[in-house]
Structure 1
Amino acid sequence: MPVWEGPGGYEIEPIKLNGRSRLRISRRAPTGVLFFVAYVAEVDELRRFVDLADLVEVVDIRARRRSCKRSTAQR
């Protein structure tokens, strides 16, 4: 699943909570510890915490390389 990061150490991750889709908002402290902030049901609710235009998707390059190697090996 994708994860988005924003300024101030915010991290947003889509999750299922009690069978419902939610966005989990966490914040990384300067020490590297990740603290829970809130669950929100709507993207619009994120605006209380972070400007949506500042969010960037975190991409795991290693996972992409593995899937690329598999797809090229199947050709």
Structure 2
Amino acid sequence: MKKRIITENYTPALRDMEVGEVLTFPVKAYNSIKGTIIPRLRLEFCVEDADWKVGEVDKRKGIFDVERVA
């Protein structure tokens, strides 16, 4: 199955994820997503105890996955 890579609007894509869902992003978004967007969303959704897990970067393909874990 071919993965759909999210190339824009990272925050809405992460915000709208369901628990267990996995999205794929380009490596250029790694620092923004891991260092800024996910911490902000954790605070925004703190009552729900929401959390996301950032996977390893596939250096050959230039992508990484993010999973909504809670």
Query: Do they fold alike, i.e. is TM over 0.5?
Result: no
Which structure has the bigger radius of gyration? Answer: 1
Higher strand share: 1
Q: Which has the higher contact order (CA 8 A, sep 6+)?
A: 2
Q: Classify the TM-score, shorter chain.
A: under 0.3
